Structure 1
Amino acid sequence: MNMIEVLNTFLVKIQDQAHVLPLIHQADVQINLRCGEQIVQLIIKNSTIMSLQNSEVQPSKYEITGSPAAMKQLLNGTERLRVLEQQGRLKVSAPLRTILLLESIFFLTKAQEHPLAKII
């Protein structure tokens, strides 16, 4: 699964996660996600989150760069952004406040079983 497919899955999942949406209510962030030659821009603005791919990508002062495996872990919410950065698997150029916001968004959006699924 390439980064665009993983990102698209993330974008679908976040719409089902009502508890995450207040985090992006006041956010205004543009960040480029770079995996080799592939660049996707994630835009969080006016309570929405969307992506632009390759030819549509605008220059951004914030960027996350890393391997496809590390990017997948980030977008799936299976590992925290700062942990991946500390391990040297992702390089992040953004202010700490932005990093913490993105980490919260990615981690809280991870695929989770519905709490009642185990009971039924």
Structure 2
Amino acid sequence: MIKSIQKFLVKMQKQGHVYQLIKQAEVHVNLRCEEQVVQLVIKNGAVFILQNPLEQHNAYEVRGNEAAMKQLIEGTSRLRVLEQKGEIKVDTSLRIALLLESLFYLTKAQEDFAKII
């Protein structure tokens, strides 16, 4: 999972327009896959990760198996679709879920658009 997240961060850095979604956000989301936990931190227009973070009471959480988390992070499946299928469990507000879905999906969608051009 960590490699997928690192690839996501690299892709995001190349796509400045996506940062408009997070320029004033402050969100901590634990991405949990089996025993591995990575915290995705969105703060003041920046996105970074913390591996094996200490549990935080104010952090949201998305958890699922490795295949589902990879689909989410790579933008090949949408967060709410995976949740409806029961492949991931999302403990966030709808606003945060939509923000995450947008970030992951738009990063992937922009990459696909670049291939067409």
The two structures share one fold, judged by TM-score above 0.5: yes
Report what 2:92 is aligned to.
94
The aligned runs of 1:8-19 (5 Å cut-off) are 8-19=6-17
Across the two proteins, how many residue pairs are aligned to each other?
115
Residues 6 and 72 in structure 1, CA contact (< 8 A), matched pair in contact too: yes
Which is greater in Rg?
1
Report what 1:104 is aligned to.
102
The residue matched to 1:79 in structure 2 has which SS?
A: coil
The aligned runs of 1:3-82 (5 Å cut-off) are 3-54=1-52, 56-59=53-56, 60-82=58-80
The structure-2 alpha-carbon separation of the partners of 1:7 and 1:79, relative to structure 1 and needing over 3 Å to count, comes to: same
The structure-2 alpha-carbon separation of the partners of 1:57 and 1:41, relative to structure 1 and needing over 3 Å to count, comes to: farther
Normalized against structure 2, the TM-score is what?
A: 0.91
The residue matched to 1:25 in structure 2 has which SS?
A: coil
What is the alpha-carbon distance in structure 2 between the residues aligned to residue 76 and residue 51 of structure 1?
A: 16
Normalized against structure 1, the TM-score is what?
A: 0.89
What is the alpha-carbon distance in structure 1 between the residues aligned to residue 76 and residue 13 of structure 2?
A: 18
The residue matched to 2:49 in structure 1 has which SS?
A: strand
Gaps of 5+ in 2: none
Shift of 1:17: 1.2
The two structures, once aligned, show a CA RMSD in angstroms of: 1.6
The amino acid of 2:90's aligned partner reads V
Point out 4+ residue stretches in structure 1 off by more than 6 angstroms. Answer: none
Q: Aligned residues: percent identity?
A: 56
Gaps of 5+ in 1: none
Higher helix share: 2
The residue matched to 1:109 in structure 2 has which SS?
A: helix
What is the alpha-carbon distance in structure 1 between the residues aligned to residue 69 and residue 116 of structure 2?
A: 30
Deviation per CA, 1:63-97: give whole Å up to 9, x if none: 00001100000000111000000000000000001
